[in-house]
Amino acid sequence: MTDVTEDTVLIETDGCTGLITLNRPQALNALTHSMVLRIGEVLTAWEHDPAVSQVLLRGAGERGLCAGGDIRAIHADAKAGTTGSLDFWRDEYRLNARIARYPKPYVALMDGIVMGGGVGLSAHGGVRIVTERSRVAMPETGIGFVPDVGGTYLLSRAPGELGTHLALTGTAIGPGDAMLCGLADHYLPSDWLEEFTRELTAAPVAEVLPKFGGATLPGSPLAAEREWIDRCYAADTVEEIHSRLRGSGLSAAREASELLHAKSPTSLKVTLAALRRARELDSLERVLEQEYRVSAAALSTPDLVEGIRAQVIDKDRCPRWSPAALFQVRQASVERHFAPLGEGRELTFPEHGPAGRG
């Protein structure tokens, strides 16, 4: 066994498996730029190492795989009017695409909290494992941002309008719903993970998984909500979605409407537009290119700074959005998020055939 420690990312090889452990448990393994670069470096090395036949991603600690990007750093960047976050997102999104096309089995243990950037590191992988502790979410509209890391690709391809519901409300889902929505493939109880990992170091994942197939998958609450979710979220505007939710007569729909009411109005409108456009794009790479434009535009909006302040910095949970209401968000403000960034500023990928999960 070899072991190389890089503080926030632990890298080791054990048997035929390369192990990547996100190692910021005190910060719920939130991603920094250096972590993204380190993971990219080791994936390159292992791709060309015949001794490594598969990769396993996991998180240190008991709380989760990864809570997302380091939004305190993004807040400082946005508040200062600097652009370090653009470099971070550029490398992060390239890593997301790399994971989706990785030529060796890429196994992600989506145990505990898996949000934002954590979804980007795991849900594009070839083998995605959830547990009874999994809480999977793209909660960006609550901080004045928009789902990224390929999240609009994944959620736009979930059954019916489930992805629209999750993207707009930021609702965290458990293992059954994660599998229903196409964000995970397999379920293992969390107390099986240690043995599963041990087995994986000695045999290919295709041989190991069948040995762990006896667990009963928890239920899928969203499956029972499909009728009202599909009907309400099929609307063309966020205002109409709100109206349908409020008028449905169902308590769950009213609760969803209340969740939307607390989110950034601009983020909601941009998110809906991003999802609808993502449905029409033919690969993960094309969606990531779109998301980079959206993220770059969001970096200069007041809602991103204010949302992170309210949720993470001051934790008063009372963001003052600008504009404060949906009807005040002009269509031009939405379209600005999708405008070309100019020569040399775009994120671009080589032309590929369809990639990702659809």
Instruction: Kindly report, residue by residue over 10-61, the tens digit of the pLDDT.
Output: 999 999 999 999 999 999 999 999 999 999 999 999 999 999 999 999 999 9
Q: State the Cα–Cα distance between residues 138 and 148, nearest whole angstrom.
A: 8
Instruction: Please indicate whether residue 7 is annotated as part of the active site.
Output: no
| Residue of 70, 92, 111, 148 with catalytic role | 148
Q: Over the stretch 87-127, which tens digit does the pLDDT of each residue have?
A: 999 999 999 999 999 999 999 999 999 999 999 999 999 99
| Residue of 70, 77, 140, 291 with catalytic role | 140
Q: State the Cα–Cα distance between residues 150 and 220, nearest whole angstrom.
A: 23
Q: State the Cα–Cα distance between residues 237 and 169, nearest whole angstrom.
A: 15
Instruction: Please indicate whether residue 214 is annotated as part of the active site.
Output: no
Q: Over the stretch 308-349, which tens digit does the pLDDT of each residue have?
A: 999 999 999 999 999 999 999 999 999 999 999 999 999 999
User: Would you place residue 82 in the very low, low, confident or very high pLDDT band (cuts 50, 70, 90)?
Assistant: confident
| Residue of 18, 64, 68, 117 with catalytic role | 117
The answer, yes or no, to whether residue 358 has pLDDT greater than 80, is: no
The answer, yes or no, to whether residue 356 has pLDDT greater than 90, is: no
How far, CA to CA in Å, does 312 sit from each of 27, 76, 182, 281, 349? 12, 12, 29, 33, 33
Total count of residues recorded for the chain: 358
Structure tokens at 58: 């996991």
Which residue blocks in the chain are alpha helix, DSSP H? Answer: 33-47, 71-80, 84-100, 117-122, 151-156, 162-169, 175-180, 193-200, 205-208, 226-233, 238-247, 251-261, 265-280, 284-298, 302-308, 331-336
Which carries the bigger pLDDT value, residue 123 or residue 70? 123
User: Would you place residue 5 in the very low, low, confident or very high pLDDT band (cuts 50, 70, 90)?
Assistant: very low
Instruction: Please indicate whether residue 69 is annotated as part of the active site.
Output: yes
Residue showing tokens 């969390």: 190
User: Would you place residue 6 in the very low, low, confident or very high pLDDT band (cuts 50, 70, 90)?
Assistant: low
Q: Over the stretch 186-238, which tens digit does the pLDDT of each residue have?
A: 999 999 999 999 999 999 999 999 999 889 999 999 999 999 999 999 999 99
The answer, yes or no, to whether residue 8 has pLDDT greater than 80, is: yes
| Residue of 18, 59, 64, 69 with catalytic role | 69
Q: Over the stretch 162-174, which tens digit does the pLDDT of each residue have?
A: 999 999 999 999 9
The answer, yes or no, to whether residue 2 has pLDDT greater than 60, is: no
| Rounded average pLDDT over 154-163 | 98
Q: Over the stretch 300-310, which tens digit does the pLDDT of each residue have?
A: 999 999 999 99
**What local confidence, expressed as pLDDT, does residue 3 receive?**
41
Q: The whole model's pTM is what?
A: 0.95
**What local confidence, expressed as pLDDT, does residue 326 receive?**
97
User: What number of other Cβ atoms are within 10 A of residue 56's Cβ?
Assistant: 23
Structural contact between residues 307 and 264, judged by C-beta atoms closer than 8 angstroms: yes
Instruction: Please indicate whether residue 342 is annotated as part of the active site.
Output: no
- Exposure string (b/e) for 207-227, b if CB count within 10 Å is 16 or more? ebbeebeeeeebebebeebbe
The answer, yes or no, to whether residue 353 has pLDDT greater than 60, is: no
The answer, yes or no, to whether residue 75 has pLDDT greater than 50, is: yes
Tell me the one-letter amino acid at 215.
A
Structural contact between residues 138 and 114, judged by C-beta atoms closer than 8 angstroms: no
**What local confidence, expressed as pLDDT, does residue 4 receive?**
43
SS (H, E, C) 38-81: HHHHHHHHHHCCCCCCEEEEEECCCCEEECCECHHHHHHHHHHC
